[in-house]
Amino acid sequence: MTNHSTTEARAYAAWLAVCLVWGTTYLAIRIALAGVPPFLMAAIRFTLAGAILVVFLKARRERIPPLSSWPSLGALGVLLVGCGNGGVVWAEQTVPSGLTAVLVAAIPFWMVAVEFVLGTAEPLSARRLLGLLIGFAGIVLLVWPELRLGSGRPFLVGVLSTQLACLGWAIGSSYARRRDAEENVLGAAAVQMMLGGMALLVVSTALGEWSALALTRRTLVAMAYLTVIGSVAGFSAYAYALKHLPVSTVSLYAYVNPVIAVALGTIILGEPFGLRIAAADGVVLLGMALVRPRAAH
């Protein structure tokens, strides 16, 4: 097997790991929120994960990005970790974990939009336009009953938070894809997580979230899982896949995550999953599949 084929095989293995691992993190986030405020949870998770990865790389005598590249990596951390994950954990305060995962499946749509603004996307075809309309209809089907029941405002804020998270994630992913190909992928991921986590820590402290911290064994286990499996393993795998595969291919993980998240949320947390939600989930995923850009190396 050639070096290119080996790298590609590892990249697809990393992508598969992202699909499986990040599908479970929605449940872990929901559990952790019972004792840890949203931004503080994300801040602790990613700051620790970044620090763990830096220590690991140092022990292996691998390269850490030089300080001169930290400002750009910090910007990536704010986009991917601060905006991307911060928006998701904020949303899960009022939106069920499985439904949050479905709404985050709009990432491919936002990636198409970002690439279009940058002038690198394919023209807006009839297929994509149809996908936009179908996806929007699915989201309306998801949120409309809750809005009519009077508890709509917090729920709607959660929905909007997921879309801001998708936008930040799409911009960050597009920017990460264009960075130096020779850069140590794990080293860059470590610095991004650490700096993004520190940015969230500033926000969390400014909001006074420390006073609401109430750790239990259950929330500690969830935090440990999010830090080690979700961040150290998952974020590193995502960074590696993004470096060696097309953005459009990597973004497909957003279609696998909801299947896992909805199943776990329903079985373990007893989250609602009726015919309307199932139909709306399917409509959203169909629309985003049509919007997704064609994979090309």
Say what the pLDDT of residue 179 is: 67
C-alpha–C-alpha distance, residues 226 and 197, integer Å = 13
C-alpha–C-alpha distance, residues 114 and 153, integer Å = 28
Residue 268 lies in a domain: yes
Average pLDDT over residues 179-197: 83
Query: Would you call 180 exposed, middle or buried from its count of C-beta atoms within 10 A (0-12, 13-18, 19+)?
Result: exposed
Say what the pLDDT of residue 47 is: 96
Task: Tell me the per-residue pLDDT of 239-274, one tens digit each, with 9 for 90 and over.
Answer: 888 888 877 677 778 777 877 887 888 888 887 767
Least reliable range by pLDDT among 32-46, 75-89, 136-150, 179-193: 136-150
Residue 297 lies in a domain: no
Say what the pLDDT of residue 2 is: 62
Number of domains making up the chain: 1
Average pLDDT over residues 40-54: 94
Residue 261 lies in a domain: yes
- Identify the top-confidence range among 131-135, 177-181, 207-211, 289-293: 207-211
Contact assessment for residue 9 and residue 187, using Cβ atoms and an 8 Å cutoff: no
Residue 163 lies in a domain: yes
For the entire predicted model, the pTM comes to: 0.80
Say what the pLDDT of residue 189 is: 86
* Domain span including residue 160: 3-291
Least reliable range by pLDDT among 74-88, 91-105, 156-170, 213-227: 91-105
Say what the pLDDT of residue 150 is: 45
Residue 296 lies in a domain: no
Residue 251 lies in a domain: yes
